[in-house]
Amino acid sequence: MERQTYKTLQRDSGLSKDTLQKTFYYFLNRVPLTSIIHHDNIHLRVDATYFKKFCVVCYQDDMISYTQLFRFSDAERYEEIKEDLNNLLNLGLQVASITCDGHKATLKAIKKIMPGVVVQRCLVHIQRMSLLWLTANPTYEAAKELRALVLMIHRIATYNDKQYWIQSLSAWEIKFKDFLKEKSYKPETGRYWYKHKLIRRSFLTIKRALPNMFHYLDNNNIPKTTNGIESYFGHLKNHLDLHRGLTKNNRINFIKWYIYFRNKSNM
């Protein structure tokens, strides 16, 4: 724990540094259990955040900001996510929708275990990745026009907005169809490559996600982004940064306590 943090705790609690350290590690070695909260038509936010040696995947109830389940791993893996979703069903959760960033393992697991559940793609993630590939100051007209459409995504609030935006995207595809197909020859490899691969990648990412981008218009209880859980992760990392000297196991136990207390505050 950071020296300044101990000084603050000593001042506020009146306890010595040794006592605070003993108390801190006492609880780290006795992690709590997370319980499930049942209610009808749960809308989950599913996301993962990465640390140096591990990641944590959270299944969070959007309506009450409650983490129903979480898993520690080294990556987002299909078999593990499939097992988690199956466990949620076995524990009696009635899941109506899942909002996620579109990771292949997550989508595959949902299709296998919860084929009838509505999948909402996180609009912020689609927008963020597309803008990254298109860059802040694109050179090509195709990129400039697609970037303008991408910036509109988070403002789509009605069916008319959706229809107008989809028509605009379709018109963009027709206009730049040949541009997207342009290829360059690489003599060193003897292969042809798409000349505008980042613009193409941005467009194809949107096109593939399109069927699952606007379910929130049908049901306003469906979160259109995973922003809530990303903010949750940000707050967690800020707290964990105060304890940089912890071992991997103690960092994991710290996160378990964090989730436990945050859940308690939302019950």
User: What is the per-residue pLDDT across 47-73, written as a single tens digit (0 to 9) for each?
Assistant: 999 998 899 999 999 999 999 999 999
Torsion sign across C-alpha atoms 244, 245, 248, 253: negative
For residue 209, tell me if it sits in a domain. yes
Would you say residue 19 lies in a domain? yes
Instruction: Answer whether residue 205 shows pLDDT above 70.
Output: yes
Tell whether 230 is covered by a domain: yes
Question: What's residue 240's pLDDT?
Answer: 83
Co-location of 118 and 45 in the same domain: yes
Does residue 219 belong to any structural domain of this protein?
no
Indicate whether 104 and 233 sit together in one domain. Answer: yes
Domain shared by 57 and 109, yes or no: yes
Same domain, 114 and 230: yes
The pLDDT-based confidence of 15 (bands split at 50, 70, 90) is low
116 and 128 together in one domain = no
Look up residue 223 and give its two tokens. Answer: 């979160």
Domain that holds residue 9: 1-30
Same domain, 128 and 199: yes
pTM of the model: 0.88
In this predicted structure, what is the pLDDT of residue 39?
Answer: 86
Residue 95 sits in the same domain as residue 142: no
CATH number at residue 93: 3.30.420.10
On whether residue 115 sits in a domain, the answer given is yes
Residue 220 lies in a domain: no
Same domain, 45 and 61: yes
Beta bridge partners of 191: 186
Task: Give how many domains the chain has, as a whole number.
Answer: 3
Are both 181 and 204 inside the same structural domain?
yes
Residue with the larger pLDDT of the pair 23 and 249: 249
Strands 183-186 and 118-121: unpaired
Q: Which stretch of 14-18, 141-145, 199-203, 240-244 has the lowest confidence by average pLDDT?
A: 14-18
Looking at the fold, whether 2 and 74 belong to one and the same domain comes out as no
Kindly compute the dihedral angle of the four CA atoms of residues 55, 43, 207, 199, in this order, to the nearest 10 degrees.
-40
Whether residue 246 is found in the same domain as residue 175? no
Question: Does 118 reside within a domain?
Answer: yes
- Rounded to 5, what percent of the chain is helix, strand, coil? 55, 15, 30
Rounded to whole angstroms, the Cα distance separating 28 from 255 reads 10
Q: Per-residue pLDDT for 2 more than 60?
A: no
pLDDT of residue 221: 96
Percent of the chain at pLDDT above 90?
69
Give first-to-last CA distance, the chain, whole Å.
Answer: 29
Residues 47 and 113 reside in one and the same domain: yes
pLDDT at 159 over 70: yes
